[in-house]
Structure 1
Amino acid sequence: MTRPYRSVLYIPAANARAMEKARTLSADAIIFDLEDAVSPAEKETARELLSQALLADYGGRARIVRINGLDTQWGESDARAFAHGGDAVLVPKVSRSADVDRVADLVPETPLWAMMETAEGMLNASEIAAHPRIHGMVMGTNDLAKELNARFRADRLPMMAGLGLCMLAARAHGLVILDGVFNAFKDDAGLRAECEQGRDMGFDGKTLIHPAQLEIANRVFAPSEDELDLARRQIAAFDEAKGQGRGVAVVDGRIVENLHVATARDTIARAEAIARLGA
């Protein structure tokens, strides 16, 4: 992962003011949404507004464009319009690798990301993640819950099978993977708990629906001072052990091997990437 994706904020592409404000927010990435957040009557206007907005400087924030599906009257025009705009094109409702092929033909160079939000997509997650044009996955938990006829639970038990399948697929193929949104944007405790759950599962960050959610996501998905301290001590102890001809070290009563050192270096690298972003 070359850049942090702790907080990824959805912005409606029909809202010029919101897109301008996004340039000042502490989001690691922006998803400019041409799909669900834009009414049919605004689709064409939103495409034009977004084309202009992407000419502006968004600093180190990743700019991801979620297009409409190619099964709609707007999808093909969206794909062609942003084939060379933004840092990635997010393909909605990817259920199989063939869905990616269709967009890849229209977007020959820009990285593609997949919205994982259908039951079929969960079952085909490995096939989708293996597609050579896919660089990231975004969980669409609202659409998935609707398709599953699942009830809301704070522990997200109905989502676990799908979340786990996509996580395995993303990690097997070296992709970025983002957790789904938390709808109750005024419930800080609930958001924090869900961010912590996603972080502990291994997600790189969380998609968000409101700027008020940025601070919590940024904090939860960033390495803590305690984690950084431990990482540094593990690396130092292991280096010392190697210098003495030993293959393992002990830190805080726990064995430290090569795999722990690799994780420690990744932790430090994430912190450094966040610092470079200035957030």
Structure 2
Amino acid sequence: MQNVAHPYRSVLYIPGSKTRALEKAQGLPVDAIIFDLEDAVSPDEKVAARELLAETLRTADYGPRKCIVRVNGADTAWGADDLATFIDVAPDAILLPKVEDTATVADLAARVTGDTKIWAMMETPRGILNAAAIAAAPKMEGFVMGTNDLAKDLGSRGRAAMTTSLQLCLLAARAQGLVCVDGVYNAFKDDDGLQAECMEGRDMGFDGKTLIHPAQVAITNAVFGPSTEELELARRQIDAYEQAKADGQGVAVVDGKIVENLHVETATRLLAKADAIKLLEGA
């Protein structure tokens, strides 16, 4: 079961090389930010971006938003220095790209200190097949689905072709209590398409979605946040079940449907998520 202490409805990628974007992100209503040093930064900007981002995270205030840094891979010219720098900076998490086994996770886990956690990009066939082992690695906290890279490696067209991969990662994440966020929706001006994909990801079980543009935040937060109707039903389910127990019954009935302990657990998690969102937005 995933941790509900902090919501991850909206997880926005921000290029580590863009000063204005780094400043603007401090006021965006997102639950988490992935500060990207990998795909969003050109090779000739990577060193400067690392220095800029390190100084920004040491001095800027991102409030309650979780700060996650995606470093370059260990097999690149920048990966080792990225890790050394951000192990020292100690963001909330370091996101490793193209994780395929537990080796890179274990190496980083042995080096990070304090409260910094490890997240993994799940974006290659080998990584997907090893998801269960990766999820169980030390200091792992979250999976990010890299659907663009995965589609490229699979040679697939359309989201339906990735259903098995998405579900395997969700299963692995839930088995270990990790956060698991869906991949990006590339057409950032297509609100209807974004909403549909968010709803699909929510119904599959994802905690939220990674985003490429601030314009996508409002829809994503709304879809992955509990609705008024859902919260009202959750409260009625809990009340009815408690009354049934008081009457010596093992189940209750709400709106013509059986309510058992498992439904109460789901309802309780939903209310806890709503409380966490209120705290985040209030802060």
Indicate the TM-score class for this superposition, using the shorter chain for normalisation. over 0.9
Per the alignment, in what secondary structure is the counterpart of residue 84 of structure 2? helix
Name the residue aligned to 1:138: 144
1:74 aligns with 2:92: no
Paired letter, 1:99: T
Per the alignment, in what secondary structure is the counterpart of residue 278 of structure 1? helix
Following superposition, the deviation at residue 132 of structure 1 comes to 1.8
Following superposition, the deviation at residue 234 of structure 1 comes to 0.2
Q: Which has the higher contact order (CA 8 A, sep 6+)?
A: 2
Name the residue aligned to 1:98: 103
Per the alignment, in what secondary structure is the counterpart of residue 210 of structure 2? strand
Name the residue aligned to 1:60: 64
The range that moved more, 108-117 or 234-243, is: 108-117
Question: Residues 82-135 of structure 1: CA distance to partner in whole angstroms, max 9, x if unpaired?
Answer: 114210000000001112123334434420000000000110000100112211
Matches within 5 A, 1:22-33: 22-33=25-36
Number of residue equivalences: 276
Question: Residues 8-51 of structure 1: CA distance to partner in whole angstroms, max 9, x if unpaired?
Answer: 00000000110110000011100000000001100111011101
Are the equivalent residues in 1 in contact too, given 2:106–2:138 (CA < 8 A)?
A: no
Per the alignment, in what secondary structure is the counterpart of residue 231 of structure 2? helix
CA distance in 2, matches of 1:14, 1:101: 28
Counterpart among 10, 13, 20 of residue 10 in structure 1: 13
Are the equivalent residues in 2 in contact too, given 1:79–1:107 (CA < 8 A)?
A: no
Counterpart among 124, 127, 138 of residue 121 in structure 1: 127
Counterpart among 196, 200, 204 of residue 201 in structure 1: 204
Paired letter, 1:81: T
1:183 aligns with 2:159: no
Per the alignment, in what secondary structure is the counterpart of residue 163 of structure 1? helix
CA distance in 1, matches of 2:91, 2:112: 12
Let me know the Cα RMSD of the aligned residues: 1.0
The range that moved more, 176-185 or 96-105, is: 96-105
Are the equivalent residues in 1 in contact too, given 2:170–2:180 (CA < 8 A)?
A: yes
Name the residue aligned to 1:112: 118
CA distance in 1, matches of 2:175, 2:264: 20
Following superposition, the deviation at residue 73 of structure 1 comes to 1.1
Per the alignment, in what secondary structure is the counterpart of residue 262 of structure 2? helix
Paired letter, 2:33: I
Q: Could you list the runs of 5+ residues in structure 1 that have no partner in the other structure?
A: none
Matches within 5 A, 1:251-266: 251-266=254-269
* Runs of 4+ residues over 6 Å off in structure 1: none
Are the equivalent residues in 2 in contact too, given 1:79–1:106 (CA < 8 A)?
A: no
Identity %: 62
CA distance in 1, matches of 2:34, 2:90: 13
CA distance in 2, matches of 1:121, 1:162: 10
Per the alignment, in what secondary structure is the counterpart of residue 107 of structure 2? helix
CA distance in 1, matches of 2:199, 2:186: 16
Name the residue aligned to 1:159: 162
TM-score norm. by structure 2 comes to 0.96
Q: Could you list the runs of 5+ residues in structure 2 that have no partner in the other structure?
A: none
